[in-house]
Chain A
Amino acid sequence: MSTPFDRWFVPILVVAIAANQMYLAHTRDLSPWKGGGFGMFGSSDHPSHRFLAVEATAADGQTVEIRPGVDANTMRRLRVMPDRALLDQVAAQVLWTEYVPSKVGRSRALERFRAQNPRARLAEPRLGAGVVYRPLTWRDAAPVPGQALQLERVKVQMWRLRFDPKRARVYSEPIGAPVVLQKEDGHVG
């Protein structure tokens, strides 16, 4: 003989977790695709459409383009539910990492992107030589002292992509406020 608990525990559990997921999606930007609310294939706000933007300033005051080198698990968490404390942590990690130059390629898509967004700030014009910096790792030969790039200030922010169906246009939209961190006074804005 089955009891009401046997029959109703699972359905109640599903509804409770889904209600929590809906709450988090509306209050803390949890992606509708995740968290057990069965919001998959219903919204374009998938974690892969969310990304971290980093604006970095070197010690000499120049703006530099960097690949932040945030570990995959942290990045995954940020994409699913951008959390202020986690963003602070990432900003500190990015600020205190040393960087070495990397290369960036060109493509037809890049030219088209520029044509469509002449005023957008792209990595290449800022860097002149088209250099993107990446974190210094143990695989790299030890850099000459003072050659590795050190940052003075970083601004990190999560963004997401949106789609305008009438014009088939994809655009970016910020998620929450940016975190600004500076070495001098350790200020977090």
Chain B
Amino acid sequence: MSAEMEMPMPGSAQPAAELRGLLGHARHTAHEVVTMPRDLIVLRLTLLLLMLHGSQQGWKLDVPLRVLCGAMLVHSPLLTSRALWLVVTCTVVVMNAMHWFHIDNHKYLMTYWCVGCTLAVASGSRDAVLRQNARMLVGICFALAVIWKLAAGQFVDGSFLHWTFLEDGRVESTSMLVGNLSADQLAENRSLISLLKSSPGDGVGVTLSTSDGLRWVTLAMSWWTLLIETAVAVTFLAPRHSRIAKLRDWTLIIFVATTYGLLPVIGFAFTLCILGFMQCEPERRRTGLAYLGLLVAIQLTRIPWDNIVGSMMS
């Protein structure tokens, strides 16, 4: 070994020290976050949610909303202003009411949550009002989702997810992996459906390429979804101090982690993490941090993993 290699490089200890410093800083920040008043963190996160996912319905209300939320976010005295929360909520309500027939359900959930935030800042007990509304919103939202899944009749037998995996380009990689279907077969499925839309008629139909493997996997996924959504609904709607209610944080965390990794609806996942964090008991600090960690982790679903892995493989 040459003398040159034996000698420590100048500054080689610096990256390690910097990393240690960063980790220490992250730990300190995490401690600060969990010890801060939870209602204030949640109000900030809600403003951030509105800025990122509040609206894509034109600029007239969207731009003022983003500016207002930004101002409330950076200037602490505005964070708990009753008048400004009322303006924010009215803006969100008007924006979504104008497009009520086609907005997604998480836009409804955000709107309800804004109403809850406004009621909380106007009440004498901000934390309690936010906590109660967060818990009830999650519970009711999941109960309704389960009711629809049972009522529509296409979930219990796995047919909804089966069709989704045969047709939806967002889950193509999973269909190829678990269903042993080729990209060509899936593209052809989509083309067949497109042709069917241009020539409808009684008795007109197309048979899609599928596999038994995909049938079984989608059936298992359907039952898992029903199970976890029912668990979230029951644990969140159960009385707060009951034994079953103690499981509620983990049912929601498992749901978000297993669902939005596959079907990334980031606005919905973001909202659920805020609601979960708010209703989490203050003494369960690690669980609170888990919600915040999940909130960061769901942003990773924006990365086009398919393309990255595909290009690495090729």
Task: Give the nearest-CB partner of B122 in chain A.
Answer: A6
Q: Inside 8 A of B157's CB, which chain A residues have their CB?
A: 165
> Is there a chain B Cβ closer than 8 Å to A171's Cβ?
yes
Q: Inside 8 A of B191's CB, which chain A residues have their CB?
A: 107-109
Task: Give the nearest-CB partner of B158 in chain A.
Answer: A165
Determine whether the beta carbon of A35 is less than 8 Å from that of B100. Answer: yes
Categorize the interface residue count of chain A. Answer: 35 or more
- Count CB-based A-B contacts (< 8 Å): 196
User: Which of B124, B202, B204 has the most A CB atoms < 10 Å from its CB?
Assistant: B204
> Is there a chain B Cβ closer than 8 Å to A23's Cβ?
no
Q: Closest approach, in angstroms, between the C-beta of A67 and any C-beta of chain B?
A: 10
Given known A-B contacts A14-B141, A36-B108, A7 and B132 have beta carbons under 8 A apart: yes
Given known A-B contacts A11-B140, A14-B112, A14-B141, A120 and B204 have beta carbons under 8 A apart: yes
Determine whether the beta carbon of A116 is less than 8 Å from that of B148. Answer: no
> Is there a chain A Cβ closer than 8 Å to B270's Cβ?
no
Q: Digitize B204-232: 1 where CB-to-A-CB distance is under 8 Å, 0 elsewhere.
A: 11111110000100000000010000000
Q: Inside 8 A of A14's CB, which chain B residues have their CB?
A: 108, 112, 136-137, 140-141, 144
Determine whether the beta carbon of B200 is less than 8 Å from that of A53. Answer: yes
Number of residues in B with C-beta < 8 Å to the partner? 65
Docked Cα-Cα span, A91 to B217, in Å, equals: 44
Q: Inside 8 A of B193's CB, which chain A residues have their CB?
A: 161, 170
Determine whether the beta carbon of A80 is less than 8 Å from that of B108. Answer: no
> Is there a chain B Cβ closer than 8 Å to A77's Cβ?
yes
Given known A-B contacts A37-B144, A42-B145, A163-B154, A10 and B112 have beta carbons under 8 A apart: yes
> Is there a chain B Cβ closer than 8 Å to A122's Cβ?
yes
Q: Inside 8 A of A33's CB, which chain B residues have their CB?
A: 104-105
Query: Which segment, of A43-51, A134-142, A146-154, faces chain B?
Result: A43-51
Q: Closest approach, in angstroms, between the C-beta of A81 and any C-beta of chain B?
A: 6
Q: Closest approach, in angstroms, between the C-beta of B229 and any C-beta of chain A?
A: 10
Q: Inside 8 A of B198's CB, which chain A residues have their CB?
A: 123
- The contact sample of 6 A-B pairs, CB cut-off 8 A, is A6-B120, A13-B112, A34-B101, A109-B191, A120-B199, A161-B197
Q: A11-B136, A41-B149, A108-B191 are in contact. List 15 more A-B contacts (CB 8 A).
A: A6-B123, A7-B133, A10-B115, A13-B115, A18-B144, A30-B101, A32-B152, A110-B195, A113-B199, A121-B201, A168-B207, A169-B206, A170-B192, A172-B201, A172-B204
Interface residues of B (CB under 8 A from A): 100-105, 108, 112, 115-116, 119-120, 122-125, 128-129, 132-133, 136-137, 140-142, 144-145, 148-149, 151-152, 154-155, 157-160, 162-164, 166, 188, 191-210, 215, 225, 263
